[in-house]
Chains A and B, each alone.
Chain A
Amino acid sequence: MLYVKNLHKSYQSGNKSYNVLKGINLSVADQEFVAVMGPSGSGKSTLLNCISCYIPFEQGTITLGEQELRGLDENSLAKIRNEKLGFVFQDFMLLDGLTMRENILVPRIIWGEADKQAEKLADQLLALFDIEHIASKYPADVSGGERQRTAVARSLINQPLLILADEPTGNLDSKSSRAVIESFENARNKLGASIFMVTHDSFAASFCDRVILLKDGTVYDTLEAEPGHKEERRGAFQDRLLGAIREMSNMEDSL
């Protein structure tokens, strides 16, 4: 589904150049829920922004489905963002002047127009994520969790190949975080969505099938969840994750 090969990205600050991504290789399979974790400055968000084509990168390839993203012009990239990718941002990025239902429909409107079928799908998503009651409210009138679930619904309206989520629980309390992560699970289980999520939150990451640990712009480790009872598996996976993160931090300290 998604293949990232030897991805390099650097930032320029004055005369200095900072390498943020130093040859990242990873992939996400169909209907897989993958998280990327790592300390601040490890390159998580930059990686996500490169995959989203929000920022240009210098070297490497990103393939989504069968399509190589590098070298595409702005219009083709926009088409891919609209049709093949869905986005969930840390600060929701809902449009203040639109109702929650209209916000969900925005990607479809950009595609062409929000017809009856799209409206029906929007209503289904509202129901799936348990936010029907706020359908006609505006972002300023609802809670952070509800806003983020609306953003998840928006990311699914065009039935994309992959949902990209950047710290989706970063601005939420634990209850709302759980509701958002469950929305992702629902999207994967009921709609067959694939999800690639950047997070700091080990609890949120423990819901994933696989977690990639990034450190200093390279893949430090990859952990896979083991099969078993959902809640037991999640608890054990979170413990493993925390252990791996601790080990990564200790290594950094000893250096």
Chain B
Amino acid sequence: MMTLKSLERKLQKADAKQAKLYLFCNFVSLLLITAYSAMMFSPTVLLVLPEGGDSRKQMIAIFVLALFGCVVFTIYASGLFFRKKAKQLGTLMALGASGRKLLPGLLGEVFALSAISSLLGIVAGFPFVWILWNSFKLITDSNQMALTLDFKCLYLSAVFFVIVVGFSCLNAYRYLKRTNIMEVMHEEHRNEPVREMGRWCGPVGIGLVLGGAVLGYMGPVVCHRVLNYYAPAWLNILYAPVFVGLYMIMLHTVVNGWRSRKKHPYKNLIARSMMKFQGKQTVNNLLVSTVLIAGSAFGIFYLPMMSVDRIMEIKSRPYDYYYHYRADQEIPGEEEISALAAQYGLAIADFRQVPYLSLGMDGISEVEDGNSFHYERMPLKSEGRFLSQDSYERITGEKISVQKGDYMAISNTDETGLYYLEDTATVLTNMVTFQSLPTNFGGYAHYDFLMDSLGYYVLNNEDYETIAAGLSKEWMGQTAVFNIDGQDSYEFSQDFFYTLVSSFGPECEQPSYYDRVKKYYDNQMGEVYWGDTTRMTKISYSEPNTSDFRMYWKYMPKSRILDKTEFNRTFAVFLMMFLFIAIICSLAAVIIEYTRCMTIVLNNRYVFEDLKRLGASPGFIRKEIKGQAGPVFKIPALVGMTAMYLLYALLMFGNDGKITTNEIGGLAVCLLVLLGIGGVYYLVYRYAVKNMCRQIFE
């Protein structure tokens, strides 16, 4: 005896194919979101990506993009499922099944499908992360790469789970509430044409993307520089035209196409019209894929930009080794280092050591007034390391002329990173005797090797002697450089580094941004210096291999061979996290595009059948299939990658008002990487076309 329940069960069994697609889409979305949030909450990543830092913000921003993509994808999958289900629902409703009668069965089915697929996705997210991360460890490994997970990430997955299941159930309810049964029955073949817009739509879209990018970038800059106001987060809304522009580009692609059809008005007519009449779905899919590919490009750019810059910087160093230290520290000198090198069969050459002074500098500072700020001259703003003119010439081998009463800041040739240097000082202060020396900024001396976040300055020899009088060793230091005669040894460089670290006293266990002059000033003003609070990240001699230590220790030496060899290891978590982001976003985009291609076949099978009946050859049908699948893959790849490439170049330019040689090198490598990724997309496109053809011709 057959009941409605057993009938529904039988129908569900028969619909297994469409259910599989729905299960797959939900599964993939939850897997990607869980994997991403697992990494985002992972202590492994959080320890390395500084709180409030750009990297962490970028990671969160791309997560929002990925989340948006996955939400749209699951809504699309749910819509697709119901479109296929509509004929069945409509028929049952037409034969007298009320919504109330069908609701329990449909809700049960939809709930089970969405909940099971989502739960499986969440569960699979963790092994996925583990496999991916451990594959990365095959490329590069460090102690910091040991993966630990914080299951707080499940909160995000849970929210997404509720969205997926809730939306599916809501969709089920909405279908059964519909009163026009004919519409429900013919839902599957209902076209969703987009509103026709003129050919202006594409170029205007491009203009909006470019304009939005500039506006979004310049908005906070103007806010800061002109209005003296810290840009609030909501100002990011200025990027909104980018999304409107992207939508218009996609719309133009679907409705008008980019080529003029005056000469060949009937070229690709069928493929174009098929796309146009399912325009809403197509545009949504293209848009989501574009955003995800842009996110993926952003993630992947991190690697070449960081690596190329670093590699080029290391390559251009005039000395193999550099280190500096406070004069009150017992640090190995030329003799000890020579002895250490000898243990590795090495000899050092070109050893040069010069003294420097650590002086207090006044300068103009931004003083916060809530969300805004004003500029104020601080009598003791920061600490600077000052070389005498002679010392500079000795270490660089270059002549320099500093006028008496002036000071010069040592910058790199491209004059990037000038924000580390103080160019508004008018008084230098001896921090022991508190004698002051009036001064003027005399411009920049260029020597890339001595450019760092602590800042080196050069004084006229006479001024140097004057201000040095009475300075204690604590406020004096030595800068040393040397080469290895012949081939250097990695083992020696490691030994040198660890020996150096162990020679420093606890008073030097400080990050580079710990400023003793500022601390003195704050204490004089009765305030606690922020470096003495928990707000400033601490570094520890016990963890000399962490990226925090290598990046931020105040006395971190430079070693060509060590920095080159350990670059991957030091920045492994950084690099791998962004590689992970790129993979997740690319994977999501490719799956969405592939699914779209499969649904084109599913929804338009009858069109292809009609074409066959009209005498279309397999070659013609294959061409039409390519005409459908092509834009689904090509347009998001082209637009997403180009937009992100230009945005990245804009960011590079915006950092310091120029694009440096290293950045040009990085951007060139990014271009090659994009070509490589484009190749992978092309392979997936070929695979999708092959599968589409197989389904049509089988």
User: Residues on A close to B: CB < 8 A?
Assistant: 49, 52, 54-56, 74-75, 78-83, 85, 87, 89, 93-98, 102, 105-107, 109-111, 113-116, 154, 158
User: A56 — which chain B residues lie within 8 A by C-beta?
Assistant: 179-180
A89 to B94, CA, bound (A): 10
Whether the pair B96, A107 counts as a contact (CB closer than 8 A) is yes
Q: Which residues of A contact B568 (CB under 8 A)?
A: none
Kindly state the separation between the CA atoms of A111 and B1 in the bound complex, as whole angstroms: 13
Extra contacts besides A81-B94, A83-B96 (14): CB < 8 Å: A56-B179, A74-B98, A81-B96, A82-B96, A95-B11, A95-B14, A97-B11, A97-B13, A98-B7, A102-B10, A105-B2, A106-B95, A113-B3, A158-B96
Q: Mark B77-108, 1 if CB is under 8 A from A, else 0.
A: 00000000001101111111111110000000
B610 to chain A: closest CB distance in Å?
A: 14
Of residues B90, B92, B101, B180, which shows the largest number of chain A Cβ atoms within 10 Å of its Cβ?
B92
Q: Which residues of B contact A54 (CB under 8 A)?
A: 94, 180-182
Chain A residues within an 8 Å CB radius of B182: 49, 54-55
Residues of A within 8 A of B99 (CB): 74-75, 78
11 contacts between A and B (CB under 8 A): A52-B181, A55-B180, A78-B98, A78-B101, A97-B14, A102-B7, A106-B7, A106-B91, A109-B3, A109-B4, A114-B1
Among B14, B95, B180, which residue has its beta carbon within 8 angstroms of that of A81?
A: B95
Partner of A97, one of B1, B2, B10, B181: B10
**CA A110 to CA B14, docked complex, whole Å:** 19
Task: Report chain B residues within 8 Å CB of A115.
Answer: 1
CA distance A248 to B467 in the complex (A): 113
Establish whether residues B96 and A78, one from each chain, have CB atoms under 8 Å apart when the complex forms: yes
Contact assessment for A79 and B98 in the assembled complex, using a CB-CB cutoff below 8 Å = yes
Interface membership of B674, Cβ < 8 A: no
In the bound complex, CA of A72 to CA of B247 (Å): 44
Least CB distance from B474 to A in Å reads 82
Question: Which residues in B have their C-beta under 8 angstroms from that of A98?
Answer: 7, 10-11, 14
Q: Verify if B291 is at the interface (C-beta below 8 Å from A).
A: no
Closest CB in chain B relative to A55 CB, distance in Å: 5
Question: Residue A78 contacts which of B1, B13, B14, B93 (CB distance < 8 angstroms)?
Answer: B93
Which among A55, A95, A107 is the interface contact of B181 at CB below 8 angstroms?
A55
Given contacts A109-B7, A115-B1, contact A87 B94 (CB under 8 A): yes
> Which chain A positions have C-beta within 8 A of B91?
93-95, 106
Give A126 Cβ to nearest chain B Cβ, in Å.
16
Contact across chains for B180 and A107 when beta carbons are under 8 A apart: no
Chain A residues with CB below 8 A from B185, complex form: 93
* Cα of A193 to Cα of B66 in the assembled complex, Å: 59
Contacts of A83 in B (CB 8 A): 96
The complex places the Cα of A76 from the Cα of B240 at a distance, in Å, of: 49
Rounded to whole angstroms, the CA-CA distance of A206 and B1 in the bound complex is 40
CA distance A114 to B6 in the complex (A): 11
Closest Cβ–Cβ distance, residue B51 to chain A (whole Å): 53
- Give A110 to B3 CA distance when docked, in angstroms: 8
| Chain B: CB-nearest residue to A83 | B96
Q: How far is the CB of B601 from chain A (nearest CB, A)?
A: 18
Known contacts A79-B96, A106-B92; is A93 also within 8 Å of B7 by CB?
no
Give Cα distance in the complex from A83 to B179, angstroms: 19
Residue of B nearest to A102 (CB): B2
Task: Report how far A82 CA is from B88 CA in the complex, Å.
Answer: 16
- Cα of A173 to Cα of B103 in the assembled complex, Å: 38
Bound-state Cα–Cα, A87 to B97, Å: 13
Q: Is B15 an interface residue (CB 8 A)?
A: yes
Complex Cα–Cα for A111 and B7 (A): 12
Q: Cβ of A89: which chain B residues have Cβ within 8 Å of it?
A: 94
Q: Are B94 and A75 in contact (CB under 8 A)?
A: no
Residues from chain A with Cβ under 8 Å of B2 in the complex: 102, 105, 109, 113-114
- 3 A-B pairs closest in CB distance: A82-B96, A97-B14, A78-B98
Give bound CA distance, A80 to B7, whole Å. Answer: 21
B180 CB, min distance to chain A CBs, angstroms:
5
Interface string of B224-252 (1 = CB under 8 A from A): 00000000000000000000000000000
- Shortest distance from the beta carbon of A19 to any chain B beta carbon, whole Å: 18
State the Cβ distance, A48 to closest chain B Cβ, in Å.
10
**Chain B's nearest CB lies how many Å from the CB of A193?**
16
What is the distance, in angstroms, from B537's C-beta to the closest C-beta of chain A?
61
Among A80, A93, A102, max chain B CB count under 10 A is at A93
> Which residues on A sit within 8 Å (CB–CB) of B11?
95, 97-98
Cα of A75 to Cα of B179 in the assembled complex, Å:
11
Q: Which residues on B sit within 8 Å (CB–CB) of A113?
A: 1-4
Contacts of A110 in B (CB 8 A): 4, 92, 95-97, 101
Q: Which residue of B lies closest to A113 (CB)?
A: B3
A97 to B91, CA, bound (A): 13
The complex places the Cα of A13 from the Cα of B110 at a distance, in Å, of 33
Bound CA–CA A5/B15 (angstroms) = 42
Q: Is there contact, CB below 8 Å, between B14 and A87? A: no
- The 0/1 profile, CB within 8 Å of A marked 1, for residues 1-40 of chain B is 1111001001101110000000000000000000000000
A82 partner residues in chain B, CB cutoff 8 A: 95-97
Q: How far is the CA of A105 from the CA of B1 in the complex (A)?
A: 11
Residues of A within 8 A of B15 (CB): 97
Question: Chain B residues near A109 (CB, 8 Å)?
Answer: 2-4, 7
Q: What 1/0 mask marks residues of chain B from 398 to 435 whose CB sits below 8 Å from any chain A CB?
A: 00000000000000000000000000000000000000
User: Once the chains are docked, how many angstroms separate the CA of A141 from the CA of B179?
Assistant: 32
Identify the closest chain A residue to B6 (Cβ).
Answer: A109
Binary flags per residue of B167-195, CB closer than 8 Å to A gives 1, else 0:
00000000000011110010000000000
Contact present for B88 and A95 (CB under 8 Å): yes
- Nearest to A114 among chain B residues (CB) is B2
- On chain B, the residues within 8 Å of A78 by CB distance are 93, 96-99, 101
Q: What is the CA–CA distance of A55 and B184 in the complex, to the nearest angstrom?
A: 11
A115 to B180, CA, bound (A): 31
Does B97 lie within 8 Å of A96, measured CB to CB? no
Knowing A74-B98, A82-B96, A113-B3, say if A93 contacts B179 (CB, 8 Å). no
Q: How far is the CA of A89 from the CA of B1 in the complex (A)?
A: 27
Chain B positions within 8 Å of A79 at CB level: 96, 98
Distance in angstroms between the alpha carbons of A235 and B94 in the assembled complex: 35
Given the known inter-chain contacts A102-B2, A113-B1, please indicate yes or no for A87 contacting B95, CB distance below 8 A.
yes
Query: What chain A residues lie within 8 Å of B4 (beta carbons)?
Result: 109-110, 113
A116 to B179 CA separation, bound complex (whole angstroms): 33
Q: Complex formed: what's the CA distance from A109 to B6 in Å?
A: 9
Query: Nearest Cβ in chain A — how far from B544, in angstroms?
Result: 67
A93 CB to closest chain B CB (Å) equals 5
CB-defined contacts of A116 to chain B, threshold 8 Å: 1
- For residue A120, give the distance in angstroms from its CB to the closest CB of chain B: 12
Q: Is B98 a contact of A93 with CB atoms below 8 Å?
A: no
Q: Which of A96, A102, A111, A114 contacts B96 (CB 8 A)?
A: A111
Chain B hits for A95, CB < 8 A:
11, 14, 88, 91-92
Complex alpha-carbon distance, A80 and B98, angstroms:
10
For the complex, give the distance between the alpha carbons of A102 and B14 in Å.
Answer: 13
Closest A residue, CB atoms, query B94: A87
Write the nearest CB–CB distance from B187 to chain A, whole angstroms: 13
A101 to chain B, nearest CB (A): 10
Contacts of A158 in B (CB 8 A): 96
Shortest CB–CB separation between residue A231 and chain B, in angstroms? Answer: 34
B101 CB → nearest A CB, Å: 7
Residues of A within 8 A of B3 (CB): 109, 113-114
Is the beta-carbon distance between A107 and B95 smaller than 8 angstroms? yes
Q: How far is the CA of A94 from the CA of B87 in the complex (A)?
A: 9
Closest Cβ of chain B: how far from A229's Cβ, in Å?
37
Tell me the bound Cα distance from A39 to B368 in angstroms. Answer: 79
- Closest B residue to A77 by beta carbon equals B98
**A105 to B99 Cα, complex, angstroms:** 19
Closest to A111 in B: B96
Q: What CA separation (Å) do A49 and B10 show in the bound complex?
A: 29
Q: Is the CB of B94 within 8 A of A52?
A: yes
Q: How far is the CA of A83 from the CA of B96 in the complex (A)?
A: 8
